[in-house]
A and B are shown apart, each in its own frame.
Chain A
Amino acid sequence: MDIKSLNKISDYIWEIPPEGDMRVPGRIFASEGLVEELDDNVVKQIKNVACLPGIQEASIAMPDAHWGYGFPIGGVGAFDPKEDGIISMGGIGFDISCGVRTMRTGMTRKDIQPHLEKLADRLFAVVPAGLGSEGKIRLNQQQIDEVLLKGAQWAVSKGYGIKDDLMYIEEGGVMDGADPSHVSSTAKERQFREVGTLGSGNHYLEIQYVAEIYDEQIAGVLGLYKDDVVVSVHCGSRALGHQIGTDYLKTLAEASRKYNIAIHERELVCAPIDSPEGRRYFSAVCAGINCALANRQVISHLVREAFSDVIPKARISILYDVSHNTCKVEEHLVGKKMKRLFIHRKGATRAFGPGRKEIPEEYRSVGQPVLIGGTMGTCSYILAGTESGMTQAFGSACHGAGRALSRTQAKKKWRGDVLLRDLAAKGIIVRAHSYSGAAEEAPGAYKDVTAVVDATHKAGLAKKVAMVRPMACIKG
């Protein structure tokens, strides 16, 4: 895009001045290089979000922003219910509470390496992934309601994990405000056999080792040391979340008409937060978040089982669990006033700075861990939230690399089997259910995650703590 149309605030902050119906400016966090690569559609989407009722401060885009549905992916918007603020489908997406969980293993790279192949096979066998896969857990309507009310707490109460796990999950593993009666029976039924499944697309389960430490003090607080092996899982609320999205797309389309809300893109369908439709949708989103938290908790249990089969002395403990497709009620300072706002993060991670009560006590002094997934051939990052991220972006950071090539282009450029062989030659074991799915996820199809993370760090949204590299990757 044409960088001259933006006001440069600093080397990493750019502003789109308000024009037309925009209620607030647009604010892009990115390096000059990343801004130049930005799709014009993203700028249009940032402007469209800035026009929504009740938006506070700015319509925000993270360094990994790309063209999404209504909101850009990598978009953040804060809305005040007292100023006719809205809740929008576009700011949450279809995969409600998609996110990343990272677990320590208590093992080093040297410990794991001899068992890596066996471990990858075992994980591939026990964690259901890919189209048409089913989990081992079978639920009925009543049981699914419990999942939707209690999230990861439900999973732990059924023996999938231990109580301590819950402390290291956002919201303590359970989101308040969920109402299963606002989730359709179709959505619930679609989840009967889906709990504990990984899915496909860009979702993965990865064994990684800590390759670099950037901040030893924070890394020490998080219990991370060079060459430690961790396991990360990236997935969301599965079919239940997708169906909530599909169901409420219609409800919110009607609500936008009913309440006469001017939207500039169909995907921005929304309802006032303080309306029956808005309240229903929010309670369904909370239920969707609980579904995702339960899902990642059950997968963690499967990871524990696989490790105990192969390396019995491994001790899996949760480092943290973040969601990057959410709407949450949070308190933020706007001007000099503390406000209760509905923060939409679509493809953006919460990154609270030190001291916030939402951060587990053990980590509170260093800020919230921020888990950024890269691609299967490159690396991922662990960051920590900052005070300046709180004031500049409602405590938010990037969520991943963001695609550079479309899936179609990627499939033309790479063959799944060849790609997997090349990665194996680099020492990265990939087990995938679909070769064409793997080709779509080729590392070269993504933007450089390092550039995105560096911009996040330099913009002050979150602080780099560690970089991890893949050893083995399980794909749908």
Chain B
Amino acid sequence: MEWDWDGESMKAYETFEHRADIGVRGYGRRVEEAFENGARAMFSVMAEINDVKPQDSEEVSCEAPDMDYLFVEWLNNLLSISHLSGKIFSSFKVEIKDNKLRGKAWGEKIDASRHKLMTEVKAATYSMLKVSKEDDVYVAQCVVDV
């Protein structure tokens, strides 16, 4: 999916190939934005997220020794909250300070009659895990086990 950033069209998130599973990748002008878009990439594996209305919200807070681990923590926290609340999320907001993350996810209850559901994600993994800055753009990515 593409977003218009300051008049420049740029990819916000995508999935990438992995032999057995699938990779998720988010881009952003700030690292927080890359985390938010990384979460969109993960939920896009589970469902058609453009059909998911951002009407209910859930909060997430987590921490980790570094930004790489924090990205996996963020995604895994979202997975367990999504599962426990029976909701699928499509919109995210993240604040990060000193490797501590406070985030919010918006979405709605899963409704098989309305949502196009795809594959369960078991977990975000350390495989191909990377949070980096390339040419002024932050990238957050890892492989998810499906």
Show the binding face of A for B, using Cβ within 8 Å: 39, 66-69, 73, 93-95, 130-132, 186, 189-190, 199-201, 239, 242-243, 245-246, 249-250, 253, 266-267, 269, 402-403, 406-409, 433-434, 436-437, 440, 476
Most buried by B among A201, A246, A266, A402: A246
A39 to B20, CA, bound (A): 12
Most buried by A among B16, B19, B72, B76: B19
Cβ of A95: which chain B residues have Cβ within 8 Å of it?
122, 145
How many residues does chain B have at the interface if contact means C-beta atoms less than 8 Å apart?
A: 38
A267 to B69, CA, bound (A): 12
Known contacts: A186-B80, A189-B84. The answer to whether A407 contacts B120 by CB under 8 A is no
- Closest chain A CB from B109 CB (angstroms): 9
User: Does A69 lie within 8 Å of B112, measured CB to CB?
Assistant: no
The 4 closest A-B pairs by CB, nearest first: A132-B110, A266-B126, A242-B122, A200-B120
Cβ of B143: which chain A residues have Cβ within 8 Å of it?
69
- Closest chain A CB from B124 CB (angstroms): 8
* CB-contacts of B72-114 with A (<8 A): 72-73, 76, 79-80, 83-84, 86, 88, 110, 112
A267 to B129, CA, bound (A): 10
From B18, B72, B86, B129, A406 is in contact (CB under 8 Å) with B18
Say yes or no: is B22 at the interface (Cβ < 8 Å to chain A).
Answer: yes
- Closest chain B CB from A413 CB (angstroms): 13
From B16, B80, B118, B125, A267 is in contact (CB under 8 Å) with B125
Cβ of A267: which chain B residues have Cβ within 8 Å of it?
125-127
Cβ of A200: which chain B residues have Cβ within 8 Å of it?
119-120, 146
A68 to B143, CA, bound (A): 11
A130 to B120, CA, bound (A): 7
A-B contact pairs, 19 of them (CB 8 A): A39-B19, A66-B20, A68-B20, A69-B125, A69-B126, A93-B145, A94-B145, A130-B112, A130-B120, A132-B86, A132-B110, A201-B119, A246-B76, A246-B123, A249-B72, A402-B20, A407-B146, A409-B17, A433-B112
User: Does A94 lie within 8 Å of B117, measured CB to CB?
Assistant: no
From A69, A131, A243, A434, B145 is in contact (CB under 8 Å) with A69
A402 to B21, CA, bound (A): 11
Cβ of B116: which chain A residues have Cβ within 8 Å of it?
436
A201 to B117, CA, bound (A): 12
Given contacts A68-B20, A402-B20, 9 further A-B contacts (CB under 8 A): A95-B145, A131-B47, A132-B86, A132-B117, A239-B83, A242-B145, A408-B16, A434-B119, A436-B119
